[in-house]
Amino acid sequence: MEAFEKLEKVWGGTYGKVSAMEAFEKLEKVWGGTYGKVYRAREKAMGLIVALKKTRLHEDEEGVPPTTLCDISILRMLGRDPHIVRGKRSFDKKKSFGRADFPQGFLFGTASSAYQYEGAVKEGSRGESMWDTFARKYPERNCHSNADETIDFYHRYKEDIQRMKDINMDSFRFSISWVRILPHGKLSKGVNKEGIRFYNELIDELLANGITPLATLFHWDTPQALEEEYGGFLSENITMDFRDFANICFEEFGDRVKLWLTINEPWVYSVGGYDAGRKAPGRASKYMNDAATAGKSGHEAYIVSHNLLLSHAEAVEAFRNCHNVRTTNLDKHMDQTINHTVKMLLINI
């Protein structure tokens, strides 16, 4: 917004009539080159993404692949393309930096979420998530797309891990699908051994390739069964079900996964799903989103945010009490987990 306000002054409000490249080139002159460089880097990245998609997904289509491949492609661009990283058009060599400029132990990695990349929604005894229902029930509110297949990470994770290794990634942050572990959302209704096996194999494959696993417990895929039973995160009942889910993950994977995040972008989840109504479950008042069929903007988002915080606290307590994550480095790992999560909550809220 600040950039376009600057253009408003420079061009008298006519920036909307010019191309994006012209706009950024103008900004390059106004602000010393920053924006023009960013745009050219982005254009180069998009070209790499399209090339990667042709080799991996649909060879007869142009376009941008899902999040994981986008991340990998952009990182490949930033780390391998000499014209972008080392070329005169990108930045002054004297001001450039590399891995050696970062602290020892700094992790370079890529990330995404289970719903965005796994696919296989009807396989491995996986249950239905809130996003599965939302995408199917309201296709017009989801660009007529769903995550039934995505990039098929569930079947092709070994191939993707090799790509991460090829571009010299140190880490991979993945999320654990709640409904792949607890298909009905509750411990009392059974643990899915197939889901446990999948994440065990994923973690082992990462470690075998020298890639540090970082696990996110919740990336918005609330079990649909809990939505129907008590309204999901609109009810405090979810805190104990979330704790049970978190505890299973710590017990099953905590001997190898030492870096955890409890909840991804809670502000986006609360506001997007319960105030603006543009993300699952799509709840909002009519004055905020005419497509919403239920909800109360300016009210429900606060309830959901409160219950997310309570759920975070329950998960942290479960971590501290789990014998499988008690190592000599426990305090270090726990501090990293809490700091990252709390920082995320404070920044977004």
Q: From the candidates 28, 205, 251, 265, which is the catalytic residue?
A: 265
Residue 89: how many CB atoms within 10 A of its CB? 11
SS3 at position 314? helix
CA distance linking residue 125 with residue 129, whole number of Å: 13
The token duo for 242 is 């979330």
Distances from the Cα of 46 to the Cαs of 4, 36, 71, 318, 330, in angstroms?
A: 23, 15, 11, 42, 41
Alpha helices in 167-299 (DSSP H): 178-181, 193-208, 224-230, 238-253, 266-274
Is residue 205 part of the annotated active site? The answer reads no
Beta bridge partners, 154, equal none
SS3 at position 217? strand
∠ CA 4-45-205 to the nearest 5 degrees? 130
SS3 at position 226? helix
Distances from the Cα of 183 to the Cαs of 43, 189, 316, in angstroms?
A: 41, 8, 23
Number of H helices, E strands in the chain: 15, 4
**Residues labelled as active-site residues:** 265
